[in-house]
Amino acid sequence: MLPKLDPLLHSELRLALMSILAGVEQADFTYLKEQTGATSGNLSVQLDKLATAGYIAVEKGFRGKMPRTTCSITPMGLGAFRAYVEALKEYIQASG
């Protein structure tokens, strides 16, 4: 029996965000927006969903006088992401 895929990570944008954050210490909102091509509103909603689940940490602050939002993956989020990737590998192996 194939493993269940985490529905929270099954969204294209949320999966992209987790992929980016798994490879960096932290990333700011502007960088994530540029890398994913998401709108500000959609990006905010998806980051909030990941933060509510405990998969990412979101820090709001300022760089000079400009507001800055930075995100980082949590240990729980990294574990969920790795489990998702392993589950996908099982799906691929089952189809081949």
Query: Tokens standing for 61?
Result: 């602050």
What is d(CA 49, CA 66) in angstroms, rounded to the nearest whole number? Answer: 24
Judge whether 4 lies within some domain: no
Instruction: Give the range of the structural domain holding residue 87, as residue numbers without chain letter.
Output: 12-95
Asked if residue 96 has pLDDT above 80, the reply is no
Please state the rounded mean pLDDT for residues 46-63. 96
What percent of the chain has a predicted confidence (pLDDT) above 70?
A: 100
Question: Could you give the number of structural domains in the chain?
Answer: 1
Judge whether 34 lies within some domain: yes
Please state the rounded mean pLDDT for residues 20-42. 97
Q: Domain holding 79: CATH number? A: 1.10.10.10
Yes or no: say if 54 and 6 are a contact pair by the CB < 8 Å rule: no
Half-sphere exposure of 90 (CA within 13 A, CB side): 11
Task: Give the DSSP H/E element, type plus range, for residue 72.
Answer: strand 66-73
Please state the rounded mean pLDDT for residues 22-39. 97
The residue type at 63? R
Looking up tokens 């006088």 gives 65
What does each C-alpha distance from 77 to 1, 2, 41, 61 come to in angstroms?
Answer: 24, 21, 22, 22
The residue type at 95? S
pTM exceeds 0.85 for this model = yes
Asked if residue 82 has pLDDT above 90, the reply is yes
Please report which confidence band the pLDDT of residue 63 belongs to, taking 50, 70 and 90 as the band edges: confident
Query: Tokens standing for 40?
Result: 């500000």
